[in-house]
Amino acid sequence: MTRGVKSVLVAVVLTAVVTGCALVRKATYPPDFVYLEKTQVVGAMAELNVDLWRIDDIIAGSETILPYKREEIIGILRHMETVANRLGAGPRTTNHLFIDDNIDAFKEQVLEALRFVEKEPPNYYFAGRLSGGCMACHQRR
């Protein structure tokens, strides 16, 4: 067998294995199940971490938060909601039980922070508490 034929054969076999695994996963899990790859979880958690740092950086030591910084916080909180929805939403289950158990409470905390930041006058207390909630949850693991 020539080297080119071997390469094509290996590529075909690898494609078949990957496709087969995906089909088996679809056939063995319920329709509302979401399989989260480790890279998806790590990436989402990293995004949330950056968002929390940005919020804390804006809020820390500020007597007054300027209107454009308030809008930035609102945008960050909305991004956090989007990222959290990628990890799990409502009755869906995933292969990460810890996320399943905690993601809805986290999303509610983000929405609560958003509601208070959007009020007149804005209240940043709950936005500032978000990172503490993450730390408390992750320390239990």
> What phi, psi does 95 have (nearest 5°)?
-85, 5
pTM for the complete prediction? 0.75
Residue 92, classed as helix, strand or coil, is coil
**pLDDT at site 102:** 85
pLDDT in tens, 22-63: 555 556 677 778 788 899 999 999 999 999 999 999 998 778
45 class by beta-carbon count within 10 Å (0-12 exposed, 13-18 middle, 19+ buried): middle
Q: What are φ and ψ of residue 119, in 5° steps?
A: -70, 160
Give me the chain's average pLDDT, please: 84
